[in-house]
């Protein structure tokens, strides 16, 4: 004979304090883990998803950073015609010469940060396929115009569409906002390479080149050819490999964040288990009565399972309802979470809680809610009724 | 030894006003073994609580061992109980994490006695109740009757004038109940203690000097117990 | 009072599972709090140390990468109040090409380095060796230890930014625990670059030491005024301000961490309070018996509170120990990131451990107060009435 659904559900409502406490603890677990997981996945998304496997990044040999490399003009002029380099619809080689400089920018909050400014030619948009002009338009060459990444627009003073942004030695007019699915290009400002070279007084105008492979091209052959060319000392690698290496510098933060998430999750899980345990203890006499009346062990356990799942579900809903807007609010308030160690420039990370993060938190909530409530319920259901009544 | 004058007690339970005691006046002389008897809910436990200094009357006066309990603060009442009373309850008397000896020592922690002295007195008390051999056992290892006897040992370890029991035999079988009652009688006979118990165990009549009857919060009068002592006076109004 | 300790301990052990779960939660939470404090605190300590000296940094207003002409150095030295000035240029060399740059290395002006960085306490013999050997190098303690170098060792750095590899002789150590820096002669780099046909008349930064703290603002203004409207305008700031700015970008992280740690701490107080109230409720009758015997409510209150506090403090101690282990792991990982500098400390100081214990104790008291008070205060008669 199974207990009616009303029993577990009414218990949830009737014992408001106990329900409230347990839901609060589970919600806290959910909030803590989703925020931390969200931080990690947001970081991963920004740092590690940049770049395309079909693109090669060409830098001076030995350089691991396109901010500290130099590639001569002649190299660009030769490499763009190499076999394997793709061509645009108009027949132009998909070779983007780029100059990277890291000037100071001022954040809305008054901090001073290095931002990656990339001097490019219009062909860059074709080479970096993931980059799109989301608002406004691309800059016109030699006009002192700039397009800013979404992250930049949200974090720095004067970096919004239509404004005049001051960096380096001069002012630049922002004519567009670029979007790149959250990858690190959104933390950059793109300007005309000649304007930038003049402002930064670079005699070798390019830091590096990005080449898009032609469909079916032999990537490794092209890399070998570039690196073997004795006119210059260059190194080439796929873009994805290059950015993956950069992401490694974030390792210490991954370790820290994941470590803390585990601590927080366990700590709060222990606590939630404890709360559920004691809640069941308080009802041992009740359980004994039910058993004495004739309800089977299975039916008692089932009732408790429903209650536990109910609590976990409530905790999850409350937790997510708080965590998601909290993440957005924090991200907004801070102008994105800034991070940047290896490239000597700042990556702006928008803290976003993904469905995957929520799924993990849900799993944890369920595990805590069910695990914590089931073990003591099992014990109680298995006591002989007389003992249970006496213990209560 | 114990005197109640016009004592009443009422309190709220949920939405109701409960009159647990109405205008009770009685006296219990020193050295008596008295049982407060009456049906369930009669107020005998409340009455017991009153004279034991565990609860305060809403009205009326209580004197015990020459002290007016009404005048005492909470802390003074606690000290008074520690000095003059011993307690035995129906169940959950003993602290489960302490052994029999340690339970008996408990009241002595309130004194300035050294550890060795405390231990000695506890063992003496246990000997009196016949459980010297079980001193190191935990309550869970003792039977119901043995637990109650340990409780009695604890009740006398400070040598109080008065021993108070609330349904001391309530949870025991016939044999153990008789043993406990016999022990309580011994306390009166050999140690001159005043013993007051609240009970509805009919067996108690055979051991006590006098039975005080309580019903619906009202003192109904008294009759002698099987030991045949002269009755104590008490009027209902 | 001491005689009641066994009582308190036995009560805790009555329900070992519950005590362990609660203790476990408190332990983890405190480990977290300790770990989270280390980086910002280490950084604050670092900044406080800097505030004491009168060193300023000068760089191009547009950004460090924009550089300044080397000629500025002489002019800055000439400003009254400037005791000494050196230039710094980022070399970015690596010990192992594959591993990349693992510590910051700079080409500096060797002659004045001892004067400008006097407060670092570098051994005079080391400074002398450095000055008299073109290929000398002064290395921060952290890097010395990580690389296993000793003074006199010969090592090579592969140029990752410039196309030159340079060999050095270690002159000595910069004796600060968290210091990862590597300094060598600017002239040495200049020569090597000239051989490759690469000009090197720009510097990234100039550090200058000012005679007295009060003169600092005036000198900074004078320097910036000197170069205003020139090709490379300068921005001078104190060393403390420089590092503050450098790491300001990590604010966001810290905020998220703080939010989460407060959440977890709150959670923990909840749990501990719940445990305490469960414990009290279970022992209601015992408490009544004790009060009947004559134990005063204040004493009972103290033992109940003591139970919560004891559990929390022991758990806190374990948590503090756990944090020691965690920070060690973090510090090792952080060592791989050259630019973390003073943030890579992750050091749990003794003081922090003590504070963690106090915090745990406080949590115990806070969570135990209400249930203990309620339990102890309850009148015996009320309890007996409801129970019997």
Q: Average pLDDT over chain B, rounded to whole?
A: 86
Segments forming the whole domain that contains residue B155: 2-224
What is the length of chain B?
237
Confidence (pTM): 0.69
Chain B / chain C CB contacts < 8 angstroms: 74
Q: What is the CB neighbour count within 10 angstroms for residue A293? A: 9
CA–CA separation, C162 vs C192, rounded Å? 10
Mean pLDDT score, A134-162: 91
Amino acid B185: pLDDT: 92
CA dihedral C41, C42, C45, C46 (to 10 degrees): -140
List pLDDT tens digits, range A163-187: 999 998 899 999 999 998 878 898 8
Residue B78: closest CA among chain C residues belongs to which residue?
C294
Task: Check if the beta carbon of residue C219 is closer than 8 Å to that of residue C75.
Answer: no
Residue-by-residue DSSP string for A263-297 = HHHHHHHHHHHHHHHHHHHTTHHHHHHHHHHT--H
Give exposure, B35-50, as e/b (b: 16+ Cβ within 10 Å): bbbbeeebbbbbbbbb
Amino acid C265: pLDDT: 74
- Partner-chain contact C381 B96, CB within 8 Å: no
Helix (H) or strand (E) holding A145: strand A145-149
- Token pair 């906002």 is at which residue? A177
- Partner-chain contact C259 A278, CB within 8 Å: no
**3-class DSSP state for residue C231?**
coil
In eight-state DSSP terms, residue C59 is E
- Partner-chain contact A101 C66, CB within 8 Å: yes
Among A24, A249, A351, the residue with its CB nearest the CB of C270 is: A24
Kindly list the residues from chain C whose CB atom is less than 8 angstroms away from the CB atom of residue A256: 35, 330
Residue B88 is part of a domain; what is its CATH number?
3.40.50.300
Amino acid A386: pLDDT: 61
Contacts of B118 (CB under 8 A, 6+ apart): B105, B108, B109, B111
Residue C381: Cβ-neighbour burial (10 angstroms; 0-12, 13-18, 19+): buried
Among C3, C285, C380, the residue with its CB nearest the CB of B54 is: C380
Between CA A101 and CA C88, with CA C85 as vertex, the angle to 5 degrees is: 30
Mean pLDDT score, A61-75: 81
CA–CA separation, A243 vs A230, rounded Å? 27
pLDDT at B155 over 80: yes
- Give contacts of A 339-368 with C, CB under 8 A: 339-342, 344, 346, 349, 351
Contacts of A221 (CB under 8 A, 6+ apart): A84
List pLDDT tens digits, range A8-36: 777 777 777 777 877 888 888 788 888 88
Question: Would B232 be classed as within a structural domain?
Answer: no
**3-class DSSP state for residue A204?**
coil
List pLDDT tens digits, range B86-110: 888 877 678 777 889 988 988 888 7
**3-class DSSP state for residue A340?**
coil
Task: Name all contacts of B222-231 with Cβ < 8 Å and 24+ positions apart.
Answer: B222/B26, B225/B33, B225/B35, B227/B33, B227/B185, B229/B32
**3-class DSSP state for residue A383?**
coil
Question: Would B236 be classed as within a structural domain?
Answer: no
- Partner-chain contact C160 A63, CB within 8 Å: yes
Among A169, A252, A339, the residue with its CB nearest the CB of C334 is: A252
Among A101, A263, A278, the residue with its CB nearest the CB of C28 is: A263
Residue-by-residue DSSP string for A74-131 = HHHHHHTTSTTB-B-TTS-B-EEEEEEE--EEEBTTS-EEE-EEEEE-TTHHHHSTT-
- Token pair 């409230």 is at which residue? A20
pLDDT at A286 over 80: no
- Partner-chain contact A341 C100, CB within 8 Å: no
Q: Which of C262, C33, C264 is nearest to A29 (CA)?
A: C264
CA–CA separation, B51 vs B28, rounded Å? 10
Helix (H) or strand (E) holding B80: helix B74-84
Which of B25-29, B158-162, B223-227, C130-134 bottoms out in mean pLDDT, i.e. has the lowest?
Answer: B223-227
Taking the mean position of all CA atoms in its chain, how far away is CA A83? 37
**Complex-level ipTM beyond the 0.85 threshold:** no
Amino acid A97: pLDDT: 94
Amino acid A244: pLDDT: 81
- Residue B118: phi, psi to the nearest 5? -60, -45
- Token output for A80: 């763009």
- Residue C310: phi, psi to the nearest 5? -65, -50
Domain tally, chain B: 1
**3-class DSSP state for residue C179?**
coil
Kindly list the residues from chain C whose CB atom is less than 8 angstroms away from the CB atom of residue B166: 384, 388
Residue C235: closest CA among chain A residues belongs to which residue?
A104
Task: Say whether residue C161 is in contact with chain A using an 8 A CB cutoff.
Answer: yes
- Token pair 């008789």 is at which residue? B178
- Token output for C73: 């150095």
Helices marked H in C248-283 — which ranges? 251-282
Amino acid A296: pLDDT: 76
CA–CA separation, C216 vs C221, rounded Å? 9
- Partner-chain contact A252 C340, CB within 8 Å: yes
- Partner-chain contact C294 B78, CB within 8 Å: yes
List the domain boundaries for chain A: 6-48+249-391, 62-232
Helix (H) or strand (E) holding C139: strand C136-140
Mean pLDDT score, C165-187: 88
Task: Check if the beta carbon of residue C32 is closer than 8 Å to that of residue A264.
Answer: yes
Amino acid B236: pLDDT: 41
- Token output for B113: 């006695």
Task: Say whether residue C2 is in contact with chain B using an 8 A CB cutoff.
Answer: no
CA–CA separation, C198 vs C178, rounded Å? 34
Q: How far is B230 from chain C (nearest CA, A)?
A: 31
Among C255, C275, C340, the residue with its CB nearest the CB of A278 is: C275
Q: How far is B52 from chain C (nearest CA, A)?
A: 9
Residue C292: closest CA among chain B residues belongs to which residue?
B54
Taking the mean position of all CA atoms in its chain, how far away is CA C285? 51
Q: Average pLDDT over chain A, rounded to whole?
A: 82
Q: Which of A99, A185, A167, A177 is nearest to A138 (CA)?
A: A177
Task: Check if the beta carbon of residue C297 is closer than 8 Å to that of residue C376.
Answer: yes
Helices marked H in chain C — which ranges? 5-13, 16-51, 72-77, 113-116, 124-132, 141-147, 186-195, 216-226, 239-247, 251-282, 284-293, 297-334, 350-377, 380-387
Helices marked H in A1-48 — which ranges? 6-14, 16-48
Question: Would B233 be classed as within a structural domain?
Answer: no
Which of A72-81, A107-116, A340-349, B7-16 bottoms out in mean pLDDT, i.e. has the lowest?
Answer: A340-349
Amino acid A196: pLDDT: 93
Question: Would B237 be classed as within a structural domain?
Answer: no
Amino acid C385: pLDDT: 58
Which of A68-72, A83-87, C367-371 bottoms out in mean pLDDT, i.e. has the lowest?
Answer: C367-371
**3-class DSSP state for residue A146?**
strand
- Partner-chain contact C264 A200, CB within 8 Å: no
Amino acid C249: pLDDT: 67
Counting as contact any 3 or more CB pairs under 8 A, the partners of A are C
Which of A191-200, B220-229, C207-216, C238-247 bottoms out in mean pLDDT, i.e. has the lowest?
Answer: B220-229
Q: Average pLDDT over chain C, rounded to whole?
A: 82
CA–CA separation, C225 vs C88, rounded Å? 21
Q: How far apart are the first and last CA of chain B?
A: 21
């Amino acid at each position: 004979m199974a207990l009616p659904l009303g029993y577990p559900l009414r218990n949830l409502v009737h014992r408001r304090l106990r329900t409230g406490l347990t839901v609060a603890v589970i919600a806290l677990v959910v909030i803590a883990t989703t925020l931390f997981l969200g931080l990690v996945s947001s970081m991963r998304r920004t740092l590690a998803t940049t770049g395309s496997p079909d693109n090669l990044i060409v830098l001076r040999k030995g350089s691991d950073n396109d901010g500290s490399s130099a590639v001569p003009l002649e190299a660009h002029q030769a490499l763009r015609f190499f076999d394997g380099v793709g061509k645009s619809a108009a027949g132009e080689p998909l070779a983007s010469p780029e100059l990277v400089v890291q000037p100071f920018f001022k954040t809305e909050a008054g901090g001073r940060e290095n931002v990656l400014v990339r001097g490019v030619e219009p062909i860059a948009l074709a080479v970096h396929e993931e980059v799109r002009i989301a608002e406004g338009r691309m800059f016109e060459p030699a006009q002192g115009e700039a397009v800013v990444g979404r992250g930049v627009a949200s974090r720095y003073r004067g970096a919004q569409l239509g404004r005049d942004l001051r960096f380096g030695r001069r002012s630049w007019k922002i004519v567009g906002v670029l979007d790149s699915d959250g990858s690190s290009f959104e933390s950059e400002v793109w300007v005309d390479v000649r304007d930038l070279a003049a402002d930064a007084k670079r005699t070798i105008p390019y830091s590096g080149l990005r080449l898009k492979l032609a469909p079916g091209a032999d990537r490794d052959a092209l890399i070998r050819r570039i690196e073997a060319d004795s006119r210059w000392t260059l190194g080439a690698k796929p873009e994805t490999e290059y950015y993956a290496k950069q992401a490694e510098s974030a390792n210490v933060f991954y370790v820290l964040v994941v470590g803390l998430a585990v601590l927080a999750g366990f700590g709060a899980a222990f606590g939630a288990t404890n709360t559920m345990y004691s809640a069941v203890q308080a009802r041992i006499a009740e359980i004994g009565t039910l058993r004495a009346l004739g309800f089977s062990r299975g039916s008692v356990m089932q009732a408790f399972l429903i209650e536990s799942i109910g609590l976990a579900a409530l905790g999850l809903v409350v937790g997510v309802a708080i965590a998601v807007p909290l993440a957005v609010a924090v991200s907004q308030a801070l102008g994105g979470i800034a991070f940047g160690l290896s490239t000597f420039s700042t990556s702006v990370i928008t803290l976003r809680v993904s469905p995957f993060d929520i799924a993990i938190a849900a799993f944890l909530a369920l595990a805590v809610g069910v695990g914590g409530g089931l073990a003591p319920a099992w014990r109680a259901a298995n006591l002989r009724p007389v003992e249970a009544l006496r213990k209560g | 030894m114990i005197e109640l004058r016009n004592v009443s007690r009422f309190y709220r339970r949920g939405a109701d006003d409960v009159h647990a005691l109405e205008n009770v006046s009685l006296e219990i002389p020193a050295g008596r073994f008295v049982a407060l008897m009456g049906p369930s809910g009669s107020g005998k436990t409340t009455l017991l609580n009153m004279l034991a200094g565990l609860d305060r009357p809403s009205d009326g006066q209580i004197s015990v061992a020459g002290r007016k309990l009404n005048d005492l603060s909470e802390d003074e009442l606690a000290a008074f109980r520690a000095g003059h009373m011993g307690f035995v309850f129906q169940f959950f008397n003993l602290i489960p994490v302490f052994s029999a000896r340690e339970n008996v020592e408990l009241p002595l922690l309130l004194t300035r006695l050294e550890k060795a002295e405390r231990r000695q007195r506890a063992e003496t008390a246990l000997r009196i109740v016949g459980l010297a051999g079980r001193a190191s056992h935990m309550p869970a290892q003792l039977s119901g009757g043995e637990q109650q006897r340990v409780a009695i040992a604890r009740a006398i370890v400070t040598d109080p004038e008065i021993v108070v029991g609330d349904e001391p035999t309530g949870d025991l079988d016939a044999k153990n109940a008789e043993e406990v009652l016999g022990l309580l009688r011994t306390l009166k006979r050999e140690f001159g203690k005043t013993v007051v118990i609240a009970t509805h165990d009919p067996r108690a009549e055979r051991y006590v000097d006098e039975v005080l009857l309580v019903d619906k919060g009202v003192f109904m009068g008294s009759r002698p117990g099987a030991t045949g002592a002269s009755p104590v006076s008490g009027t209902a109004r | 009072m001491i005689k009641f300790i066994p009582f308190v301990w036995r009560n805790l052990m009555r329900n070992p599972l519950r005590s362990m779960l609660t203790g476990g939660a408190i332990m983890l939470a405190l480990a977290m709090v300790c770990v989270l404090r280390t980086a910002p605190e280490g950084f604050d300590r670092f900044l406080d140390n800097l505030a004491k000296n009168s060193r300023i940094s000068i760089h191009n207003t547009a950004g460090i990468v924009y550089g300044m002409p080397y000629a500025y150095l002489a002019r800055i030295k000439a400003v009254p109040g400037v005791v000494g000035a050196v230039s710094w240029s980022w070399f970015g060399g690596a010990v192992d090409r594959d591993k990349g740059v693992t510590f910051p290395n700079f080409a500096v002006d060797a002659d004045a380095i001892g004067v400008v960085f006097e407060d670092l306490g570098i051994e005079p013999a080391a400074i002398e060796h450095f000055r008299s050997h073109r290929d000398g190098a002064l290395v921060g303690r952290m890097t010395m230890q990580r690389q296993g170098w000793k003074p006199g060792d010969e090592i090579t750095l592969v140029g990752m930014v410039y196309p030159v590899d340079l060999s050095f002789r270690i002159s000595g150590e910069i004796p600060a625990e968290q210091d990862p820096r590597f300094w060598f002669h600017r002239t040495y780099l200049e020569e090597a670059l000239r051989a490759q046909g690469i000009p090197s008349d720009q510097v990234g930064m100039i550090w200058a030491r000012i005679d007295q703290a009060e003169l600092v603002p005036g000198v900074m203004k004078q320097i910036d005024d000197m170069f205003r409207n020139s090709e490379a305008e300068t921005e001078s700031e104190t060393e403390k301000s420089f590092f503050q700015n450098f790491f300001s970008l990590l604010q966001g992280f810290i905020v998220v961490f703080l939010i989460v740690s407060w959440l977890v701490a709150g959670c923990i107080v909840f749990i501990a309070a719940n445990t305490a109230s469960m414990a009290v409720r279970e022992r209601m009758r015992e408490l009544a018996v004790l009060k009947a015997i004559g134990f005063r409510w204040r004493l009972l209150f103290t033992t109940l509170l003591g139970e919560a506090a004891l559990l929390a403090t022991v758990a806190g101690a374990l948590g503090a120990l756990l944090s020691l282990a965690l920070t060690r792991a973090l510090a090792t990982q952080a060592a791989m990131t050259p630019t973390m500098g003073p943030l890579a400390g992750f050091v749990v100081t003794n003081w922090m451990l003590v504070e963690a214990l106090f915090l745990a104790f406080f949590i115990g008291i806070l969570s135990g107060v209400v249930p203990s008070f309620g339990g102890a205060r309850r009148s015996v008669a009320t309890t007996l009435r409801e129970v019997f």
